[in-house]
């Protein structure tokens, strides 16, 4: 049986009914990884031995009628989530030998519900990038066509789920790092409301924007696991003091009479005709399902990119100051004094994009510039958030493309940082406003998938998943998988 063709939900059902064991399911995926991942480089570390121990334990629990809610289902974790006993690199030379002394809350929660970790996935260094080409462990390729990038920064997570080397993977999103790779790899990727998923043990990039989530093959699978990851965590002071949401309850409800907003500022942009056509078709599908389409205006939305490229680097420059070559991580050879130790450790330990962002952030926060840049950006950020608040008074969700086009070729955008930053033009606003966003496949062009994005009001992940599931129950785009 091709176990990887079953949805995650069906895998869980199959385990419950003893149609197969977790050891069989886990071994099946481990074999696929060893057979195929050489082409994609989607894993940094494969935890084969540990996975089989976890799978055996799950099978024991099923045998003794003591099974856990997600028992025995495999998952891949982005290598940004700390895992005790397994190295966590964040895609950087700086942490290439780092073994965290504790596990992230996301890992712990899923582990406690019985999930089996297959390994740690590749990513752009410190989650900075949109093509997964900045990883110290080498670029990741797109399973739809290995000459193309999988997107980033959660490129390894998207690539391995798309190649069906894992049924689902965790990911993180600071400006689009879940939704953009999901779009480029033909997957469903959801970033919840800021504060829904604990950031404890999730290596920090820009703390006011970072949020954990998943890439999956359907909204239904994503709902199941996101629910298991969410919930208040006293170890993260920005974690929302709310119980874990029930994300499967409304999944199958009709969207009849609900309203979808189309932001006119997004649709005024120059879009390739294939993208416009796919989005139009998706809108027609939603109309046929009973949704009402309304034009909305997010008048400050065009400020999003500059706001993001002040706030994210500023916070990154502060967060990454901890990598000093003293307490953990890389240290340069033969430092002649303490200054030399700092300066060369950070020169040699960080890649080009990370250094660019630290320097930009340092500049924006330096004496005399704080008001002009960081403070101004935080004010403009409030303007963007206000636009969303106004829009959600009249609509349930906001629809747009996820990315400006399908995947691009490896190396194509490496010479121009701004060109790469434009990849996230549609996804960044949700991070600025702390809102949940989802990308779902809605078409293809030239053999490569493309996605649409739905953004919801705060805490309305259930509604986003309902819209996504409703679309996926009536279309087949999410079922298309690459031939690998």
Partner 1 sequence: MALSDKELKEITYLARINVKEESFSSLKKELEQILTLFEELNEADTSSVEAMSHPLDLSQPTRKDEVTEENQRDELLKNAPSVKSGLFIVPKVIDGEA
DSSP helix/strand/coil, 373: helix
Contacts to partner 1 from residues 21-60, by CB under 8 A: none
Contacts to partner 1 from residues 311-330, by CB under 8 A: 317, 321, 324-330
> Quick check: 85 binds partner 1 (CB under 8 A)?
no
Question: Rounded CA gap, 456 and 439, in Å?
Answer: 12
Question: Rounded CA gap, 385 and 399, in Å?
Answer: 16
> Quick check: 307 binds partner 1 (CB under 8 A)?
yes
> Interface with partner 1 by CB under 8 A: which range of 23-31, 178-186, 297-305, 469-477?
297-305
> Quick check: 342 binds partner 1 (CB under 8 A)?
yes
Is residue 153 reached through a cis peptide bond, with omega within 30 degrees of 0 on the bond before it? Answer: yes
Total chain residues near partner 1 (CB under 8 A): 76
> Quick check: 241 binds partner 1 (CB under 8 A)?
yes
Q: In this structure, are strands 188-191 and 448-456 parallel, antiparallel, or unpaired?
A: unpaired
The single residue among 7, 96, 244, 378 that binds partner 1, judged by CB under 8 A, is 378
Residues 213, 171 contacting (CB under 8 angstroms): yes
333 Cβ contact partners less than 8 Å away, ≥ 6 residues apart: none
> Quick check: 267 binds partner 1 (CB under 8 A)?
no
440 Cβ contact partners less than 8 Å away, ≥ 6 residues apart: 182, 188, 219, 451, 452, 454, 468, 471, 472, 477, 478
Q: Closest distance between partner 1 and the C-beta of residue 376, in Å?
A: 6
Q: In this structure, are strands 397-401 and 448-456 parallel, antiparallel, or unpaired?
A: antiparallel
The single residue among 85, 138, 234, 411 that binds partner 1, judged by CB under 8 A, is 234
Q: Closest distance between partner 1 and the C-beta of residue 308, in Å?
A: 10
Contacts to partner 1 from residues 185-214, by CB under 8 A: 193-195, 208
Task: Find, among 210, 206, 180, the residue nearest to 198 by Cα.
Answer: 210
The single residue among 376, 414, 475, 484 that binds partner 1, judged by CB under 8 A, is 376
> Quick check: 393 binds partner 1 (CB under 8 A)?
no
Question: Rounded CA gap, 293 and 82, in Å?
Answer: 42
Among residues 350 and 408, whose Cβ is nearest to partner 1? Answer: 350
> Quick check: 1 binds partner 1 (CB under 8 A)?
no
Q: Closest distance between partner 1 and the C-beta of residue 360, in Å?
A: 6
DSSP string of 182-226? HHHHT-EEEE--TTSB--TTB--SSTTT-EEEEEESSHHHHHHHH
The single residue among 264, 375, 409, 446 that binds partner 1, judged by CB under 8 A, is 375
Residue in this structure with the two tokens 């409703």, named with its chain if needed: 470
> Interface with partner 1 by CB under 8 A: which range of 140-148, 255-263, 351-359, 447-455?
351-359
Residues 73, 116 contacting (CB under 8 angstroms): yes
Catalytic residues: 78, 153, 177
On the CB side of 301, CA atoms within 13 Å amount to 26
What DSSP element (H or E) covers 293? strand 292-296
Contacts to partner 1 from residues 95-114, by CB under 8 A: 97-99, 101
> Quick check: 337 binds partner 1 (CB under 8 A)?
yes
Among residues 284 and 347, whose Cβ is nearest to partner 1? Answer: 347
Among residues 98 and 267, whose Cβ is nearest to partner 1? Answer: 98
> Interface with partner 1 by CB under 8 A: which range of 160-168, 255-263, 277-285, 343-351?
343-351
Contacts to partner 1 from residues 424-453, by CB under 8 A: 432-435
> Interface with partner 1 by CB under 8 A: which range of 63-71, 268-276, 338-346, 400-408?
338-346
Q: Closest distance between partner 1 and the C-beta of residue 253, in Å?
A: 25
DSSP string of 55-105? HHHHHHHHHTT---TTTT-EEEEETTB-BTTB---TT-GGGTT---SS--H
Question: Rounded CA gap, 303 and 246, in Å?
Answer: 34
The single residue among 53, 363, 414, 475 that binds partner 1, judged by CB under 8 A, is 363
Distances (CA, A) of 400 to 251, 265, 280, 282, 451: 21, 10, 10, 10, 9
> Quick check: 405 binds partner 1 (CB under 8 A)?
no
> Interface with partner 1 by CB under 8 A: which range of 123-131, 181-189, 281-289, 358-366?
358-366
Task: Find, among 444, 442, 439, 443, the residue nearest to 465 by Cα.
Answer: 439
Distances (CA, A) of 55 to 161, 175, 178, 280: 19, 35, 27, 44
Among residues 2 and 393, whose Cβ is nearest to partner 1? Answer: 393
The single residue among 22, 89, 172, 300 that binds partner 1, judged by CB under 8 A, is 300
Among residues 324 and 412, whose Cβ is nearest to partner 1? Answer: 324
> Quick check: 343 binds partner 1 (CB under 8 A)?
yes
């Amino acid at each position: 049986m091709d176990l990887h063709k079953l949805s995650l939900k069906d895998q869980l059902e199959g385990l419950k009914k003893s149609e197969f064991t977790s050891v069989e399911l886990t071994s099946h995926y481990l074999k696929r990884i060893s057979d195929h991942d050489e082409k994609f480089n989607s894993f940094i570390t494969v935890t084969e031995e540990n996975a089989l121990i976890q799978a055996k334990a799950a099978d024991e629990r099923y045998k003794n009628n003591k099974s856990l809610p997600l028992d025995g289902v495999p998952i891949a974790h982005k290598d940004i989530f700390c895992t005790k006993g397994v190295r966590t690199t964040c895609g950087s030379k700086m942490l290439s030998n780092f073994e965290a002394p504790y596990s992230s809350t996301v890992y712990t929660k899923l582990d406690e519900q019985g999930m089996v970790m297959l390994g740690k996935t590749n990513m752009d260094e410190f989650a900075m990038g949109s093509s997964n080409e900045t990883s110290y462990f080498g670029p990741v390729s797109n399973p739809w066509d290995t000459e193309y990038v999988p997107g980033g920064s959660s490129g390894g997570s998207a690539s391995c789920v798309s190649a069906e080397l894992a049924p689902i993977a965790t990911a993180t999103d600071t400006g689009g790092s879940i939704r953009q790779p999901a779009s480029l790899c033909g997957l469903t990727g959801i970033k919840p409301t800021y504060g829904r998923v604990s950031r404890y043990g999730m290596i920090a990039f820009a703390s006011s924007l970072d949020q954990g989530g998943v890439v999956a093959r359907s909204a239904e699978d994503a709902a199941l696991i996101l629910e298991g990851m969410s919930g208040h965590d006293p170890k993260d002071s920005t974690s929302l003091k709310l119980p874990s949401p029930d994300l499967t309850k409304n999944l199958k409800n009709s969207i009849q009479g609900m309203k979808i907003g189309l932001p006119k500022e997004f649709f005024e942009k120059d879009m390739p005709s294939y993208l416009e056509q796919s989005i139009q078709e998706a809108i027609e599908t939603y109309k046929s399902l009973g949704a009402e389409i309304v034009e909305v205006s997010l008048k400050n939305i065009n400020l999003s990119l500059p706001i993001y490229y002040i706030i994210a680097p500023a916070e990154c420059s502060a967060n990454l100051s901890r990598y000093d070559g003293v307490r953990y991580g890389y240290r340069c050879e033969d430092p002649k004094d303490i200054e030399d130790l700092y300066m060369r450790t950070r020169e040699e330990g960080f890649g080009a994009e990370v250094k660019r962002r630290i320097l930009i952030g340092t500049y924006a926060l330096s004496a005399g510039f704080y008001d002009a840049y960081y403070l101004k950006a935080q004010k403009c950020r409030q303007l963007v958030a206000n636009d969303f608040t106004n829009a959600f008074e009249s609509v349930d969700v906001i629809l747009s493309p996820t990315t400006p086009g399908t995947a691009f070729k490896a190396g194509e955008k490496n010479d121009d940082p701004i060109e790469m930053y434009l990849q996230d033009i549609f996804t960044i606003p949700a991070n600025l406003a702390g809102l949940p966003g989802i990308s779902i496949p809605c078409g293809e062009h030239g053999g490569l998938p493309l996605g649409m994005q739905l953004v919801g009001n705060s805490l309305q992940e259930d509604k986003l998943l309902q819209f996504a599931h409703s679309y996926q129950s009536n279309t087949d785009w999410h079922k298309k998988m690459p031939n690998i």
